[in-house]
Amino acid sequence: MLARTDERSTVKPTLGQYLASIRTDRKMTLREVEEATNKQVSNAYLSQIENDKIQKPSPNILHALAELYAISFEKLMEMAGYLTSPTTRDDSERHGRVATFAEHNLTAEEEAEMIQYLKFIRSRKRPGDKT
């Protein structure tokens, strides 16, 4: 007899499923969300989002929901497909980032300074210069 493996998948919830779970965790109705957002997000529109009929709501809608639910606006933007998660980018997609060719343990401030210095160096190059 073969051993049975756990076939539970690690499927990420859709944006709609995620928002529905947050709303129910906060024990809010669709109409309460509508009122709490000053009707920025109608209950009908939110229902369509939660049922995955609308998969990419506007950033304004996502911002209103993020504020109301006290969750990350960036996460909602990633889930809606407006932003790419930093963990899904490979090094070749990090064009212009010092971390791709310098020390990987730079602070954000050091990285910004390195980028400014690189811009300065590049600005000094003239057409026809050999380097």
Residue range 52-68, pLDDT digits in tens: 999 999 999 999 999 99
Rounded Cα gap, residues 16 and 35, in angstroms? 19
Residue 89's pLDDT is 52
Whole-prediction pTM: 0.60
Are both 82 and 22 inside the same structural domain? yes
Domain range holding 111? 89-124
List, for residues 80-94, the tens digit of each pLDDT value: 998 876 655 554 444
Residues of the chain with pLDDT > 70, as a percent, come to 70
> Cβ distance 48 to 30 under 8 Å?
no
Tally of domains in the chain: 2
Are both 113 and 77 inside the same structural domain? no
Are both 76 and 94 inside the same structural domain? no
> Residue 60 domain-assigned?
yes
* CA nearest to 19, candidates 59, 81, 62, 58: 62
